[in-house]
Structure 1
């Protein structure tokens, strides 16, 4: 299916493929056929993931099928010509399943742990800089080197190698989630969690719990993500009194993932509870830090207040907090994700010019991220569809760069 369909048009396409009437589908999601007809014809916005997920469940399709993920990762000077397929090949290499299937005698010399740490930093920094092509292109070699190190080092070096392996899987899962490869992201997060447990490092294990939670979120499994948040938070709580910034940041970011899951499950009380706990963790940390590449701190908690408000339909709350929030201290990825929520709030409140300007500003900062995120794609498609006559020059050029018009 082409990329230039709105979510409503995708719903209509899959509904017809299933041989369902509008009345039948609307009944399954507790709506009227009039509501569904308007949604399919772009007269009602489908921008809340809780609603989209209910439609996906009723149609027996993946959430990504309705929001148009994944999209093609463009080749750039950063990415080269080996991106997601190369990463998929590494993740599906049968020799990763157990050392029994590997041939140690044929293994190359592993990198030093310092070299591996530098390689990991370059991929994570690229991810946080929204250079997803570069991160996807470098992740396969990073994972290969990290696996080799984890298998060949001994003693304390082996523990450190497993820390780096776990974080390498986390970096891969992070970029795969951003470009819509939810199933591969789950695979990377799951393997990262297994490696983290072998590292005996509480903070890194907590950080990988967060990756698994985000992988669940990306497939629309909100309730399991909330359950995981509860279990993982309980695991980390005994270690918070150590004052370790890595542990506090892993714990706080995990709660932020839980807040998103609760908001998408339309559970307001749990959303507020997770945000309050995350806020307390941010106060304990005291700064906008970036321990274990979490970007955790007071500002990231505020960003999630905006995000969850939008998921719950509290548009004015999102505008009150989000439009004046200073995110300059955070990595580009966090700043741009926040800008997309603010653009969405402007759009829903009828402030079209502000919404378009916000997306254009976000694109200048992070073209890869704006190109791949379902929010920006759906906003631009909707604006093009709803324009009477030819879209304005800036909007038309933006739509062409995002490949949502010819």
Structure 2
């Protein structure tokens, strides 16, 4: 089903799966604590499904994955700087049986990657991700993983520990981009391998970073309560290092709580959302300014971005509109700027300010077309706007719908 229904709205997919299950609207609505009238409006595009907690409850009742209702695209588009295989190459790298055990990996054949070169290549992969260039990231990571794996086998002592740190961060870059494009099973493999490498390094900063990666994987799979609990457990593990924390540690620690706040808001836990955001804010206060240590883009602005996102997940649309539009994200990495713009667009749309929402999405698309293409918010909004048009949609809306593949090409 996924990949075959990119042109359907979320409500239309709910109807498709409901009928396939042989369920009436009354039964499904009852399972999620809603009325049949509400469900009928959702399925007929007269009411938006704009909260992941509600979409997840419908997915659970229909016994499908969250991604099935979000209809994440099944293909990563080729781009001007990347033509040819992308995710398939990364899949092969992650499923290479020789990486399962050092007993299967063979000899290093005397090849010893330069750690400084490897460090630069890991950084380049993360930079591509933060620029929203997902195809490029997916294409870069397999070779970086290969080099990092070779480094862990060919060095000893402190240099081997550094190789493990770099391998962990390479796996995390893979997990991040795979999560963004809906390849959640592969992302889980990458996060699991990355956490193992992080533990081998013994570095609490790297371990904390990979805890965040696992949290994102749980979020992508709709396991919001598990992601929330992992945040608490990981924070407990990292707590002994907080008092003498480096900027890198503060950034990782704070960002872990930001990921946890997403989980808490999506599970409609207001108290925990407030607690996690307060913890992140304290780390940002200690850090003192926006920074990008360990590719976290962490600081006061990222905390504010997550406050807006949490407000939307909890249904506090007016709060998101009060805080979101005036937030200056111009110094943030592209991925963060675009993610915030999409959240504000969702808030505008919820207040029927479609022109403002469309303008934000078009501006975001100029910055990171791949990110807009693969995120569920613009896909959902554009599909619902098209469905509700009484006449022909505007040229700007129609063209955007074709570019992100939510309607058939003319």
Query: Normalising TM by the smaller chain, what interval?
Result: over 0.9
Q: Distance in 1 between matches of 2:245 and 2:23?
A: 56
What is residue 401 of structure 1 aligned with on the other side? Answer: 403
Secondary structure of the equivalent of 2:243? helix
What is residue 281 of structure 1 aligned with on the other side? Answer: 283
What is residue 211 of structure 2 aligned with on the other side? Answer: 209
What is residue 373 of structure 1 aligned with on the other side? Answer: 375
Q: Distance in 1 between matches of 2:165 and 2:182?
A: 26
Q: Distance in 2 between matches of 1:122 and 1:80?
A: 19
Unaligned runs of 5+ in 2: none
Q: Distance in 1 between matches of 2:128 and 2:84?
A: 17
Deviation readout 1:57-111 (Å, 9 max, x if unpaired): 1111110000012442111132221111111111111111111112115x57242
> Once superposed, which parts of structure 1, at least 4 consecutive aligned residues long, lie more than 6 Å away?
none
Contact 1:236 1:247 in 2 (8 A): no
What is residue 139 of structure 1 aligned with on the other side? Answer: 141
Q: Does 1:336 align with 2:338?
A: yes
Q: TM-score, normalised by structure 2?
A: 0.97
Deviation readout 1:330-365 (Å, 9 max, x if unpaired): 100000000000000000011111011010010011
Q: Does 1:79 align with 2:82?
A: yes
Q: Distance in 2 between matches of 1:217 and 1:402?
A: 23
Q: Distance in 2 between matches of 1:111 and 1:376?
A: 42
Q: Distance in 2 between matches of 1:9 and 1:367?
A: 25
Deviation readout 1:221-242 (Å, 9 max, x if unpaired): 0111011000111111211222
Q: Distance in 1 between matches of 2:24 and 2:64?
A: 17
Contact 1:80 1:137 in 2 (8 A): no
Secondary structure of the equivalent of 1:173? helix
1:52 to 55, 62, 75: 55
Q: TM-score, normalised by structure 1?
A: 0.98
Q: Does 1:167 align with 2:160?
A: no
Please show how residues 253-264 of structure 1 align to structure 2 within 5 Å.
Answer: 253-264=255-266
What is residue 353 of structure 1 aligned with on the other side? Answer: 355
Q: Distance in 1 between matches of 2:139 and 2:379?
A: 23
What is residue 254 of structure 2 aligned with on the other side? Answer: 252
Q: Distance in 2 between matches of 1:241 and 1:82?
A: 46
Contact 1:262 1:268 in 2 (8 A): yes
What is residue 269 of structure 2 aligned with on the other side? Answer: 267
What is residue 129 of structure 1 aligned with on the other side? Answer: 131
Q: Distance in 1 between matches of 2:247 and 2:83?
A: 36
What is residue 3 of structure 1 aligned with on the other side? Answer: 6
What is residue 364 of structure 1 aligned with on the other side? Answer: 366
Deviation readout 1:281-331 (Å, 9 max, x if unpaired): 000000101111000000000000000000000001001110100011110
Contact 2:6 2:73 in 1 (8 A): no
Deviation at 1:43, TM superposition (A): 0.9
Contact 2:10 2:380 in 1 (8 A): yes
Aligned residues: 405
Secondary structure of the equivalent of 2:111? coil
For the aligned residues, what is the CA RMSD? 1.0
Going from structure 1 to structure 2, the CA distance change for 1:174 and 1:69 (only over 3 Å counts) comes to same
What is residue 22 of structure 1 aligned with on the other side? Answer: 25
Secondary structure of the equivalent of 1:289? coil
Deviation readout 1:86-139 (Å, 9 max, x if unpaired): 11111111111111112115x572421111111111110000000111001111
Going from structure 1 to structure 2, the CA distance change for 1:229 and 1:185 (only over 3 Å counts) comes to same
Q: Distance in 1 between matches of 2:54 and 2:110?
A: 50
What is residue 116 of structure 1 aligned with on the other side? Answer: 118
What is residue 297 of structure 1 aligned with on the other side? Answer: 299
Deviation at 1:147, TM superposition (A): 1.1
Contact 1:113 1:161 in 2 (8 A): yes
Secondary structure of the equivalent of 2:103? helix
Q: Distance in 1 between matches of 2:376 and 2:367?
A: 17
Secondary structure of the equivalent of 1:100? coil
What is residue 39 of structure 1 aligned with on the other side? Answer: 42
